Structure 1
Amino acid sequence: MSDVAVCSVVSHKFVPAQGMPVPGQVPASARAPRNDALRCTACSMRAICMPQGLTSDELKRMESLICPSRTIKQGETIYRANDSFQNIYAVRAGSFKTVVMHRDGGEQVTGFHLAGDSLGFDGVSSGHHSCDAVALEDSKVCIIPFHLLEAMCREVKAVQQHLHRMMGGEIVRESSQMMLLGTMSAEQRVATFLLNLSDRLRMRGYSPTEFHLRMTREEIGSYLGIKLETVSRMLSRFQRDGLVDIRGKDIRILDHEGLVRV
């Protein structure tokens, strides 16, 4: 299964700042190593989003093609459906949702993305993005020009393997989501969502038992294919059964094995 206020898609679009790469241009960051405090070697998410086994020179080269992180305000988009695909985005801090808009204007949440996750792969096949990527809170992303990443993949096997793993992860995420929507009861969907979020937070060094939901219950319901009222009812049932303790958006898992058995 995939990744994690009332936040609707708004018209704010992330506009590249001065100095950000455009197709066919090599950014200044790719011509000289960065000396700022946001180098990948100092990032707490490095083990998740950076290739392992790089030499010192390869790591410096990898750092040089990543643009310095940009802040995306809550409710703003990094990209929108049908925008031209140019970059991959690594979430450095904060969280995002990806959404598809229905013809009637309704919103379908397709994923929640935490620090260490990547965004933008939906544009690789067609050259245009197929969804909107919206910040659930004030967040930071690092921008990786895809044409520069492809060039490095041809020369550094570890980078190529890491890119393949990330793309493979997207395939697994989508197939897991189809299984969740097609075979699980509403109760199982909500339990699986909490367990998955707990596991992802644990991998990032955060508490797997106590966390704050950045998404609304309506957004969770959209992602899980159930109604807002059903999400609230399932959470209340879990609390009544002693599986979780809920205070608004603050969740504390009391019985992990009990959730697994749901």
Structure 2
Amino acid sequence: MLTPTAPASTRAVRVRHTTSATRTSARCSSCAMRQLCMPQGVAANELPQLEAVICSARSVRRGESLYRAGDSFDSLYAVRSGSLKTVMAHRDGREQVTGLRLAGEALGLDGISSDQHACSAVALEDSSVCIIPYAELKHLCREIGSMQERLHKLMGEQIVREAAQMMVLGSLSADERVAAFLLDISERNAQRGYSPAEFNLRMTREDMGSYLGMTLETVSRTLSRFQKRGLIDAQGRFIHIVDPEGLRHVGAPSA
């Protein structure tokens, strides 16, 4: 199948992205996350064109930054395995965790508006991402309507996710915030074919507090309280959701 010819500037981007020894080829057709990721809604006979745009997969070690706030934007990323957090810095140097990205989810959309990344993306565990040069992706979107629709949906999903997080921070109690966070991880794991009841929290308690607008001590006390109530069993970062319905009703008025 013929693939679009990228302009010279875009080809330069591709060369720059493939020089690292930590990068390997990436194929959507063989990826277990393709039904959650960029190819969702793209016809099978159009996949080769998308695969031609995805220049490589890059490994990101735990604690390593995929990109930093202020870096020039030239690519979107799709999490192939592992998980990453997004972080924004306050003017006084404090950092705020703003998001958690799991396998099959997109990263880098924050850079589209200003051609610079507004936040940093840091691996919570050894992870890998697919690199999608944005200039080539735009070219592909003009050729394949379903690809353009998929990109718009990814942007819409991020808006909805951020609005939901604002509601969590603005209107829920500490117990409700932690319960909502655990249920969110549970549901996202289920979408990926993993256990919704048992999982390892990749975020530290401190990261959870930053993400949920709580102190480390409040997060720890809340998890301990949930354990005493029989809602969860927490052993370090390992979480077993014992009573999901009970978690859903945390903070609800008694009948």
The Cα of 1:84 is off from its aligned counterpart by 0.8
Q: 1:119 and 2:107 equivalent?
A: yes
Q: 1:87 and 2:87 equivalent?
A: no
Query: Match of 2:65?
Result: 77
**Does the C-alpha gap of structure 1 residues 44 and 194 become closer, same or farther in structure 2, counting only changes over 3 Å?**
same
Whether contact under 8 Å (1:246, 1:252) holds in the other structure is yes
**Does the C-alpha gap of structure 1 residues 169 and 216 become closer, same or farther in structure 2, counting only changes over 3 Å?**
same
Q: Where does the alignment leave 5 or more consecutive residues of structure 1 unmatched?
A: 1-20, 29-35
Whether contact under 8 Å (2:41, 2:150) holds in the other structure is no
Query: Match of 1:203?
Result: 191
Query: Match of 2:140?
Result: 152
**Does the C-alpha gap of structure 1 residues 38 and 186 become closer, same or farther in structure 2, counting only changes over 3 Å?**
same
Q: 1:131 and 2:119 equivalent?
A: yes
Match of 2:32 among 26, 40, 44: 44
Whether contact under 8 Å (1:89, 1:142) holds in the other structure is yes
What is the aligned length? 235
Deviation per CA, 1:59-81: give whole Å up to 9, x if none.
11111110221111111111111
Query: Match of 1:103?
Result: 91
| SS of the residue 2:36 aligns to | helix
Deviation per CA, 1:74-102: give whole Å up to 9, x if none.
11111111111100000001110110112
Shift >6 Å, 4+ stretches: none
Q: Distance in 2 between matches of 1:139 and 1:55?
A: 27
Query: Match of 1:214?
Result: 202
**Does the C-alpha gap of structure 1 residues 84 and 23 become closer, same or farther in structure 2, counting only changes over 3 Å?**
farther
| SS of the residue 1:103 aligns to | coil
Q: Where does the alignment leave 5 or more consecutive residues of structure 2 unmatched?
A: 1-6, 16-23, 251-255
The Cα of 1:105 is off from its aligned counterpart by 2.0
Aligned amino acid, residue 189 of structure 1: R
Query: Match of 2:3?
Result: none
Deviation per CA, 1:168-219: give whole Å up to 9, x if none.
0010011111111000000000000000010001001100000001110000
Aligned amino acid, residue 144 of structure 1: I
| SS of the residue 2:42 aligns to | coil
Query: Match of 2:11?
Result: 25
**Does the C-alpha gap of structure 1 residues 55 and 257 become closer, same or farther in structure 2, counting only changes over 3 Å?**
closer
The Cα of 1:40 is off from its aligned counterpart by 1.1
Query: Match of 2:156?
Result: 168
Query: Match of 2:182?
Result: 194
Q: 1:229 and 2:238 equivalent?
A: no
Under a length normalisation based on structure 1, what TM-score does the superposition of the two structures give?
0.86
Between stretches 38-47 and 217-226, larger displacement belongs to 38-47
- Give % identity: 57
Q: Distance in 2 between matches of 1:66 and 1:133?
A: 19
| SS of the residue 1:154 aligns to | helix
Q: Distance in 2 between matches of 1:52 and 1:129?
A: 25
Whether contact under 8 Å (1:93, 1:140) holds in the other structure is yes
**Does the C-alpha gap of structure 1 residues 66 and 180 become closer, same or farther in structure 2, counting only changes over 3 Å?**
same
| SS of the residue 1:48 aligns to | coil
The Cα of 1:137 is off from its aligned counterpart by 1.0
| SS of the residue 2:189 aligns to | helix
Q: Distance in 2 between matches of 1:39 and 1:93?
A: 13
The Cα of 1:38 is off from its aligned counterpart by 4.0
Q: 1:61 and 2:61 equivalent?
A: no
The Cα of 1:50 is off from its aligned counterpart by 2.9
Under a length normalisation based on structure 2, what TM-score does the superposition of the two structures give?
0.88
Whether contact under 8 Å (2:26, 2:54) holds in the other structure is no
**Does the C-alpha gap of structure 1 residues 119 and 53 become closer, same or farther in structure 2, counting only changes over 3 Å?**
closer
